[in-house]
Structure 1
Amino acid sequence: MRPHALSIAILLSIHHAHASETEEIISLPLIQVDAEQLTLVDNVVKVENQNADNKTLGDALKHISGVQSSAFGPNAGAPVIRSLSGNRVQILEDGASIYGMNAISGDISIPFDPLFSQTITVNKSSDSVRYGGNAIGGSVNVDTGLIDQDMPDKNANLEVVAKKGWNDFNAKGFKLNLNNQHNFSTNFLFSTQDISSYKIHGNSKASVCNTALFPASGGTNTALADACQKEARIQQVYNTASQPYIDQFMTENPDWADGTFSFYTDQPTSVWSGKTYINPENPDYVPDTPKYTQNKINRDVTPDYKNKLGNSYFENQHYAIGSTYLFDRGYIGISADSKKSEYGVPGFSLENKSFQANYDDGLPVGVKTDQRKYTLQSQLNFESPFLNQIQFNTNKLINTSGEYLGAEIANRYKFDTQQAELLLKHQPMKLLSGFVGLNYVDRKVKGQGELRYLPDLNTQTQAIFIKEKLDFNWLELDAGYRTERVEHKVQDSDFKTSRNSPNVELKDRKLNLDSFNVGSYLKFNDLIGLKLRYSVSERAPEINELYASNAHYSIMLQEEGNQNLKEEKSKNLELTGLIHYKDFDFEATVYKMKYDNYLYLTHSGLQTANRLPLKYWTQTDTEITGFEIDVKQKVDLNYYGNLVLSAFADLVKNKNLNPNEYSLFNDGNYLPNMPTNRYGANIEWEKNDWSARLSSIYYDKPQYLGKNVSQEIPLPAYNMVDLQIRKHLKLHNADFDVFLNGSNLLDEDARPQNSPLKYIAPLPGRGFQIGVSMKL
């Protein structure tokens, strides 16, 4: 453990005195999760999920400034926080990591229940102190509500939800709670969602797949052609009208000809073997025309669908049970949870066949995921100030994710993870509180299939961390520190690296990490405040960055890891200003994240035999800068109800600070596939039993573009307009909500710039859901 002292000067900041002013609450009732004692210094947003039209976890968070979705088609969308995702954003369920192939391969969805996931907590700041290196870019924690921490008000509660979709999924499910109003409470849950395919506006492939493949400067944009799943090449064709005579000798002796051009000549006579031949005039001759013309071949490797998104089917099932024993000083709860999904990856084929192949028999890509989770949570409360609470949580997570080429397995990986965490909370004095934690993770990864790109591996992580808070009401000081050890062990298997791999012999890696953060908030008065936060975080290279080799079709490249890569380190500075006046709230955040040894895939400038670009995991220094602005105004309309007007804007840049000549030419100054800046606006209205929400998010045309040897082609701006209308009814002992959801009301051709499939699979077109939820 390196001696980073918690005595580092505490930085000042501010936030509202009330929790409701600290967190942006989106939608309806909030359920708190007291697993980590979040402080007012943390940049945290909590989102309710009730009756919302959320297709993926990333989609559920799109109204949060600074957070977008990876949008790998409509069925796989992971949160992208300030341009960071994957291995840098820790995804948790009830405080425990659900890390799997979803962090490594973008087409693998995060197991998520869009019906009954209750509260989603997003920390947009580095959360490495609490959740380790994989939270270097923030964390997202989904509360399932399976294990009750308090006794429900009634001894039986039933919630039933049914949704019917038009260009949106159908859904149904129930959640049943039974308890004895004393010490036992049990929850049963079932939900399912499905859709056969999505409709879109226009063609599935972007117009630039036809207009920008052959630049005016000449040649072919091969990177764009690969992203568009196109066969694009220029063929030189001899122009038979370019020469005035037909070669008589070649006409009489065609076996001597070396191509079409051999039959034509500029000379009226030709001499062969001492004999003179009179060459007749070419009747097609056109003076001053070039000898060769270009035939620009543009063929689809995968279909370009019209008004539909091919291979976009989706099926999801969730079964769960959770039971809690509550007693005077705490509780003990257990749960078993099963989530299964099967869906298509639209517009995409694993078969990048050679040029001039027959593409008609190409097979679509399907994904199947199966996550089973077994959890034990416990909490014991004490009256002692030096130890007032013990939390012990452990779970076993088995996540199996497979890519299928037609009906055949391309690759399948099983993540078998066991986690345990112990939290010791204390409050030795009124102003001071905090906790000390121990964390252990053992993760085994095994793969199969002809298209494997990872060896079998076992990763063990041990960590100890501490967070402390001083609360003076008008001033809160916060500090935390974590030391972590990560060890990757290569297991025996038949996995072979490619001839392009820098890893000749796979070796184990051990890495030691240290992270800390300091911050505070200062409330000058009831009107104005400031918040400042500083953190230093470290992340160990993950298994794909170290050991990947061979074709990784889901990210459309030949991926080669490097087992000698160093740990990644970020230094983050974040400043927030706040204004609160009556029913008006304003919050603006600027941030700067300096990364040493930032891990990314650099383009080699070459393609492999299957036409996939060859890329290597490498490191550079980068700087991520950006801002987020949130504004909210409440308006009392008296007889006409209440109105809430809100808006946000965000922008992020991820710049390579020290590119060498090689990476500057191939990758550019900015990393590709970065989120663009957005401008959002919401109108929420409520009166008695009626409520409605109209929202708009404008995604601007990207300004900071990367390269894949060729310059990244920007896509047009678009505006996503959504609508929710709800009517609450009460009949006898039952409460009903009848609702209508509308998405992409403008039927835009929406292609997120950060989506790997942006050129071949837009977001779904206009869609609607009607539904009803009943509570007894």
Structure 2
Amino acid sequence: MHIQRTLIASAVLLACGTPAFAQSGGAPMTKVVVTGSAIRGAESDQILNPAKVLGGDELRDKIGSSLGDTLSQELGVSASAFGAGASRPIIRGMEGSRVKMLENGMATSDVSGLSNDHAVASEGAVARQIEILRGPAALLYGSGAIGGLVNVVNERIPTELVPQASGQAEARYSTVDNGRNLSGSVDGSSGKFGLHADANWRDTADYKIPGNAVPGDPGSASGRLPHTDTNEKSVGVGGSYIDDWGYVGASANHLSNLYGIPSAEGSRIDQKQDRYDLDSLVKAPLAGFTSLRMKAGYTDYHHAELDQQGNPATLFSNRSLETRAELEHKPWAGLHGTVGFQTENTHFSALSADGGPDTVPVTHSTSAAAFVVEEADAGPVRLSAGLRYEAVKRSPVGNKERQFDLASGSFGALWPFMPGYSVGATVSYAQRAPSIDELYSGGPHDATQTFDIGNPNLEKESSRNIELSLQKTSGLLRWKANLFRNNVNNFIYGRVTDTLVDEDGNPNGPYRQRLFEQAKAHIQGAEAELGYNQTGAGWSGRVFADTSRGRLDAGGNLPLQPADRIGAGIGYREAAWRGGLTLTHAFSQDRLAVSEHTPTPGYNQLDAHLSYTQRLGEHDLTWFLLAKNLLNEDIRMSTSLLKDIAPLPGRNFVFGVRTKF
């Protein structure tokens, strides 16, 4: 089955308009296509907005126990690293609700954006591809996506009929945590009905670490890091009716995830989610229009934060209904694009399980947005522009109701100044409403050991972004370089104070107060990547580097800023064999926020992979070996709240086999 249509390319077009220029020269390449209702192109065509699409063998080599772990080595992406079970992507120094998580183009509707100890409720092990958009390219999907977005595509709702049943299955074992993982998916059809099913099971013990949990403290944990075990199960089914006019389909998914938090308190999180989606596409619905796509998704999410005795301390709940419609029109006076509408209705709460103060009260939120995106050619230059208006209302029980009117817009230009080379620029303006926790928090959070205090008078964030890009897109040797700067008015951040309170907010307790405040801030950085023969047979190579700086304009660094990195890799592919070696060096990070006390040292991370594929009848069977952190380095992530007490896993070998049929 072809990669499912996603809505991601619409976001690319909104920010800058990314055309699909044909590649020429070099070894034959298989394009990973990001398709959508507004524009269709390959990953390597995403010039103005550096989109990354992980799929195929590359994705299988990088799959980890969390989405952050899977994506942490991508250009401009780091991870929150809150243990093995909860690690969320951080894009260009932005985290939390500024980075939106999607599944098949719809919000995951979990609570991972509220705190780093909350896992993303989407399973990468059954994904066909994972798409990353950075910076303004993601604005079409909501004002909260100032930093970017990640979309997990599992094709649960089929969009094409397959001639015969097909699928894949995989089993793997990891040495660092005695981890076992089974996953698989199958697609089929009966008449004009397309069918899909997928499932995943993962069970890991506490993972091994190279030294002590606390640097220089021989009395702290060693050998294995306590409370880093995970147990995750998910199952999904979907079906659709497919005809010449388009398709209509539905899917259902259940996820259950129990994982430890390696904090001093040793808490655990018991996460459950039920998700139901509808998707339909009608070709040529009206004269002058190419397609109409309508989607709806309902999510029922819960998780309990458990203490050391397994008793619930805080109960999180989020019920969400999202709808989306996109109408793509044929060229009108040289313009080609899409108009659309999106709504979201959520009920969220984070309530005390033992009668203490609620972390966040019951809050009903609604949003409605309209957007338009258009592209046109002016000679050799491709132009694009997009606008989005969104109205957001937050209605808490027992607190102040707030309403926000949000406007976003962008304009981009791309100039292929010579064959195979392009230069682009994009400017954008975006606004973000404060999240529910930033407005209304008022209770303890055990996993972070903070007593969070929201501010119901916070104003909306306003972000101004400019990005410049230069890229070579043809030949065996290809490269790209990006510069970006983001100025944010009313940047919302949690300032952790030295005031200690108990779970009721009274003095002299174990929790540090965290106050949500606002100030002007800016983030700027650069990324560069050079690749040789990335998909062809024979030798291949890659060199990359990324850096970002986040500061408050009045002075001081933003918290949890990523370290500067450089890396290089070599690979070889010939017939049934494929292998490679990658070395990433992260520099020490001492650009600390006021609430941060210790810098993170630099480290070298050496990873490798080797696989052999054999043909058994009509099926492919691939045996693979992955090696992670071969140097057994003590790796501390500057983007982790637990960097002082929880290093990443030590040397790890992953043995596995997968089949396609």
TM-score normalised to structure 1 length: 0.77
Distance in 1 of aligned mates of 2:509 and 2:581: 46
Q: Which of the numbers 493, 497, 502 marks the counterpart of 1:600? A: 493
Q: Is 1:37 the equivalent of 2:39?
A: yes
Q: Deviations over 1:481-511 (max 9, x none)?
A: 000011001136xxxxxxxxxxxxx111111
Distance in 2 of aligned mates of 1:534 and 1:421: 26
Match of 1:463 in 2: 369
- Cα distance change on mapping 1:742 and 1:484 into 2, 3 Å: same
Q: Does the aligned pair in 2 maintain the 1:385–1:428 contact within 8 Å?
A: no
Report the alpha carbon displacement of residue 383 of structure 1 after superposing the two structures with TM: 7.5
Match of 1:55 in 2: 65
Q: Which of the numbers 324, 338, 341 marks the counterpart of 1:438? A: 341
Match of 1:555 in 2: 448
Counting only pairs closer than 5 Å after superposition, residues 2-17 of structure 1 correspond to structure 2 as 17=21
Match of 1:366 in 2: 268
Distance in 1 of aligned mates of 2:317 and 2:23: 41
- Cα distance change on mapping 1:185 and 1:15 into 2, 3 Å: closer
Distance in 2 of aligned mates of 1:584 and 1:167: 37
Q: Is 1:620 the equivalent of 2:487?
A: no
Report the alpha carbon displacement of residue 394 of structure 1 after superposing the two structures with TM: 0.1
Match of 1:419 in 2: 322
Distance in 2 of aligned mates of 1:200 and 1:692: 26
Name the aligned partner's letter for residue 760 of structure 1.
I
- Cα distance change on mapping 1:112 and 1:735 into 2, 3 Å: same
Q: Does the aligned pair in 2 maintain the 1:682–1:694 contact within 8 Å?
A: yes
Q: Which of the numbers 690, 702, 706 marks the counterpart of 2:593? A: 706
- Cα distance change on mapping 1:690 and 1:743 into 2, 3 Å: same
Match of 1:729 in 2: 614
Report the alpha carbon displacement of residue 693 of structure 1 after superposing the two structures with TM: 2.2
Q: Which of the numbers 576, 581, 584 marks the counterpart of 1:697? A: 584
Report the alpha carbon displacement of residue 16 of structure 1 after superposing the two structures with TM: 7.5
Distance in 2 of aligned mates of 1:315 and 1:11: 39
Q: Is 1:87 the equivalent of 2:97?
A: yes
Report the alpha carbon displacement of residue 713 of structure 1 after superposing the two structures with TM: 1.6
Report the alpha carbon displacement of residue 602 of structure 1 after superposing the two structures with TM: 2.1
Distance in 1 of aligned mates of 2:347 and 2:284: 37
Q: Does the aligned pair in 1 maintain the 2:23–2:420 contact within 8 Å?
A: no
Q: Does the aligned pair in 2 maintain the 1:528–1:579 contact within 8 Å?
A: yes
Counting only pairs closer than 5 Å after superposition, residues 383-398 of structure 1 correspond to structure 2 as 386-398=288-300
Q: Deviations over 1:266-296 (max 9, x none)?
A: xxxxxxxxxxxxxxxxxxxxxxxxxxxxxxx
Distance in 2 of aligned mates of 1:592 and 1:324: 43
Q: Does the aligned pair in 2 maintain the 1:16–1:523 contact within 8 Å?
A: no
Report the alpha carbon displacement of residue 579 of structure 1 after superposing the two structures with TM: 3.0
Report the alpha carbon displacement of residue 674 of structure 1 after superposing the two structures with TM: 1.1
Q: Is 1:749 the equivalent of 2:648?
A: no
Q: Which of the numbers 516, 538, 541 marks the counterpart of 1:645? A: 541
Report the alpha carbon displacement of residue 83 of structure 1 after superposing the two structures with TM: 0.7
Match of 2:468 in 1: 575
Q: Is 1:147 the equivalent of 2:160?
A: no
Match of 1:131 in 2: 141
Q: Is 1:114 the equivalent of 2:124?
A: yes
Report the alpha carbon displacement of residue 605 of structure 1 after superposing the two structures with TM: 4.2
Report the alpha carbon displacement of residue 548 of structure 1 after superposing the two structures with TM: 0.4
How many residues align? The count is 626
- Residue 69 of structure 2 aligns to a residue whose secondary structure is helix
Distance in 2 of aligned mates of 1:205 and 1:130: 43
Report the alpha carbon displacement of residue 334 of structure 1 after superposing the two structures with TM: 0.5
Q: Does the aligned pair in 2 maintain the 1:531–1:576 contact within 8 Å?
A: yes
Match of 1:543 in 2: 436
- Residue 581 of structure 2 aligns to a residue whose secondary structure is strand
- Cα distance change on mapping 1:535 and 1:118 into 2, 3 Å: same
Q: Deviations over 1:538-564 (max 9, x none)?
A: 000011100001222322322110000
Q: Does the aligned pair in 2 maintain the 1:63–1:680 contact within 8 Å?
A: no
Q: Does the aligned pair in 1 maintain the 2:156–2:196 contact within 8 Å?
A: yes
Name the aligned partner's letter for residue 34 of structure 1.
G
Distance in 1 of aligned mates of 2:602 and 2:295: 45
Match of 1:325 in 2: 241
- Residue 42 of structure 1 aligns to a residue whose secondary structure is coil
Q: Does the aligned pair in 2 maintain the 1:482–1:515 contact within 8 Å?
A: yes
Q: Does the aligned pair in 2 maintain the 1:128–1:515 contact within 8 Å?
A: no
Q: Does the aligned pair in 2 maintain the 1:648–1:681 contact within 8 Å?
A: yes
Report the alpha carbon displacement of residue 706 of structure 1 after superposing the two structures with TM: 1.8
Distance in 2 of aligned mates of 1:128 and 1:688: 38
Q: Does the aligned pair in 2 maintain the 1:198–1:764 contact within 8 Å?
A: yes
Report the alpha carbon displacement of residue 671 of structure 1 after superposing the two structures with TM: 1.7
Name the aligned partner's letter for residue 36 of structure 2.
D
- Residue 84 of structure 1 aligns to a residue whose secondary structure is coil
Q: Does the aligned pair in 2 maintain the 1:66–1:628 contact within 8 Å?
A: yes
Report the alpha carbon displacement of residue 366 of structure 1 after superposing the two structures with TM: 0.6
Q: Deviations over 1:515-537 (max 9, x none)?
A: 00110211011243211010000
Q: Deviations over 1:220-255 (max 9, x none)?
A: xxxxxxxxxxxxxxxxxxxxxxxxxxxxxxxxxxxx
Report the alpha carbon displacement of residue 35 of structure 1 after superposing the two structures with TM: 5.1
Report the alpha carbon displacement of residue 397 of structure 1 after superposing the two structures with TM: 0.6
Distance in 1 of aligned mates of 2:627 and 2:134: 28
Q: Does the aligned pair in 2 maintain the 1:636–1:643 contact within 8 Å?
A: no
Q: Does the aligned pair in 1 maintain the 2:34–2:40 contact within 8 Å?
A: no
Q: Is 1:488 the equivalent of 2:394?
A: yes
- Residue 112 of structure 2 aligns to a residue whose secondary structure is helix
Name the aligned partner's letter for residue 695 of structure 1.
T
- Cα distance change on mapping 1:681 and 1:128 into 2, 3 Å: closer
Q: Deviations over 1:617-642 (max 9, x none)?
A: 110000111100111122999xxx51
Distance in 2 of aligned mates of 1:139 and 1:466: 19
Match of 2:553 in 1: 657
Distance in 1 of aligned mates of 2:391 and 2:24: 37
Distance in 1 of aligned mates of 2:534 and 2:232: 40
Q: Deviations over 1:662-717 (max 9, x none)?
A: xxxxxxx1123211111121222100011112112211101422222xx6321211
Identity %: 24
Name the aligned partner's letter for residue 648 of structure 1.
F
Match of 2:220 in 1: 304
Distance in 2 of aligned mates of 1:20 and 1:554: 52
Q: Does the aligned pair in 1 maintain the 2:19–2:382 contact within 8 Å?
A: no
Report the alpha carbon displacement of residue 649 of structure 1 after superposing the two structures with TM: 0.5
- Residue 550 of structure 1 aligns to a residue whose secondary structure is strand
Distance in 2 of aligned mates of 1:652 and 1:616: 25
Distance in 2 of aligned mates of 1:748 and 1:567: 42
Q: Does the aligned pair in 1 maintain the 2:292–2:327 contact within 8 Å?
A: yes
- Cα distance change on mapping 1:453 and 1:81 into 2, 3 Å: same
Name the aligned partner's letter for residue 332 of structure 1.
V
Q: Which of the numbers 162, 168, 183 marks the counterpart of 1:159? A: 168
Structure with bigger strand share is: 2
Match of 2:10 in 1: none
- Cα distance change on mapping 1:602 and 1:766 into 2, 3 Å: same
Q: Does the aligned pair in 2 maintain the 1:73–1:345 contact within 8 Å?
A: yes
Name the aligned partner's letter for residue 344 of structure 1.
G
Distance in 2 of aligned mates of 1:399 and 1:748: 37
Distance in 2 of aligned mates of 1:603 and 1:769: 39
TM-score normalised to structure 2 length: 0.90
- Residue 206 of structure 2 aligns to a residue whose secondary structure is coil
Distance in 2 of aligned mates of 1:57 and 1:624: 24
Distance in 2 of aligned mates of 1:413 and 1:585: 46
Report the alpha carbon displacement of residue 754 of structure 1 after superposing the two structures with TM: 1.1
Q: Is 1:195 the equivalent of 2:204?
A: yes
- Cα distance change on mapping 1:636 and 1:693 into 2, 3 Å: closer
Q: Which of the numbers 217, 222, 231 marks the counterpart of 1:315? A: 231
- Residue 651 of structure 1 aligns to a residue whose secondary structure is strand
- Residue 542 of structure 2 aligns to a residue whose secondary structure is strand
Distance in 2 of aligned mates of 1:385 and 1:678: 52
Distance in 1 of aligned mates of 2:535 and 2:495: 54
- Unpaired runs of 5+ residues, structure 1, are 1-9, 211-302, 350-363, 493-505, 660-668
